[in-house]
Amino acid sequence: MLLKYCDMSGKVKADYLILETDESHVPVVYSQLKLDTLVVLNFFRDQLDRNGEMETLIQKINGFCKTFEGNLILNGDDPNTARLGKANPKNTNVKYFRAEPYAFATHKIFEASEGRFCPFCGEPLEYEFYQYSHIGKFICKKCGFGNYEPYITASGIDLDKPVFTADGHTYSPKLNSIYNVYNMTAVAAAAKLYGIKQSVTEGVINNYTVKNGRMENFMLGDRKTTLNLAKNPVGANMTLRVMNEMKGEKELLFVLNDNIADGLDVSWIWDINFSIFERVTRVVTSGTRAYDIAVRIKCSGYDQSKIVVRPDLDKAVEELASTEGRKFVIANYTAVQPTRAALKRYIAKHGGKQE
């Protein structure tokens, strides 16, 4: 991208350069590029055999932040992210974004969590509410970690419409999940920092959609089907939460692979909270580890007679679409594109559309 937009002398012909950077490569990339603003959304365990434990990853970025004096925009509802704001006491450009509780926020934690203790004094963090996993409003009663003035806050969150307000402006995003509200609030924070026209910010937030298997919708005949990528416990739990929050009965297809890019260790599926199933009448499993995910769901207490194992992806999609009703599909990293292709093959053969 840099080569495409620079002249022969290497001068880049652009006002802004925005990079989505692999978290483990932040210190490497920005030792070579002068960074003006770093936005950090959240930290969750992901691909342990590649990244190692989450604390190792946080320490890498924390080490970079110790000498960084540029703008730092942090998710103030994630203690693992908010702690980066204290890495360099000389940096006066630290800003936090957060969100008020949405309709399904809880007072107890129901999912795998990584933010239970204060990273500075070790005391248990106290939460006013949890949005999901360890994301929520927290405070350390001993040292005060978590007590800050947010730069921007999402409020009035209604995922049924969907709509939310940030910094006095109301947005109507096409993506209706709480983690997307956080993502969009981070966008609004960066736009505010750079003085971008409000009409531009609204246009981006209200019209942004994803066509790569992230909350992507298909019609299998007349059966509405939502596909979402989930490559760690939090991603899977959030998809289950979105599914549960929708009214009426529904069925789930879970496609689990264990290829190198996924991580050969699939023990992370035991941190998925399948016990929160709401009105899920049947589950189909597929992928190279179709039986593993079927056993995991059975062990959660789900009726095994309602679990159908179809390792072949096309047969799994056929099975999913063989009954009426709303459908959801969860696929991990290397499974998501083959799953999209299988859904498209079904549509080409039996009718429907990709929305």
pLDDT at residue number 110: 67
pLDDT at residue number 216: 87
CA 167 vs. chain centroid, Å, equals: 23
Encoding tokens for residue 121?
Answer: 């004094």
Q: How far apart are CA 292 and CA 147, in angstroms?
A: 43
Alpha carbon distances (Å) from 136 to 107, 109, 139, 177: 10, 10, 10, 15
Say if CB 148 and CB 76 are below 8 A apart: yes
Phi/psi class of residue 10: alpha, beta or left (left: φ > 0; alpha: ψ in -120 to 50)? left
**pLDDT by residue, tens only, the chain of 355 residues:** 888 888 999 888 888 889 999 888 899 999 988 899 999 999 887 655 555 667 888 999 999 999 999 999 999 999 999 999 999 999 999 999 999 999 888 888 766 567 789 999 999 999 999 998 889 999 999 999 999 999 999 999 998 899 999 999 999 998 878 889 999 999 999 999 999 999 999 999 999 887 676 778 899 999 999 998 888 887 888 888 888 877 789 999 999 999 988 888 888 899 888 887 888 999 999 999 999 999 999 999 999 999 999 999 999 999 999 999 999 999 998 999 999 999 999 999 999 998 7
23-207 has CATH 3.40.50.970 classification: no
pLDDT at residue number 108: 83
Say if CB 111 and CB 244 are below 8 A apart: no
> 95 pairs with which residues across the strands?
73
Residues in the chain: 355
pLDDT at residue number 26: 92
Encoding tokens for residue 210?
Answer: 């994803």
Alpha carbon distances (Å) from 37 to 30, 71, 94: 11, 4, 10
pLDDT at residue number 111: 63
pTM of structure: 0.77
Contacts of 293 (CB under 8 A, 6+ apart): 254, 256, 269, 285, 287
pLDDT at residue number 47: 57
pLDDT at residue number 113: 64
Domain ranges of the chain: 23-207, 216-354
> 139 pairs with which residues across the strands?
126
3-state DSSP assignment of residue 167: coil
Q: State the Rg of the chain over Cα.
A: 21
The upper half-sphere exposure of residue 337, i.e. CA atoms within 13 Å in the direction of its Cβ, equals 3
Architecture of domain 216-354 in CATH?
Alpha-Beta Complex (3.90)
Q: How far apart are CA 293 and CA 67, in angstroms?
A: 44
3-state DSSP assignment of residue 162: coil
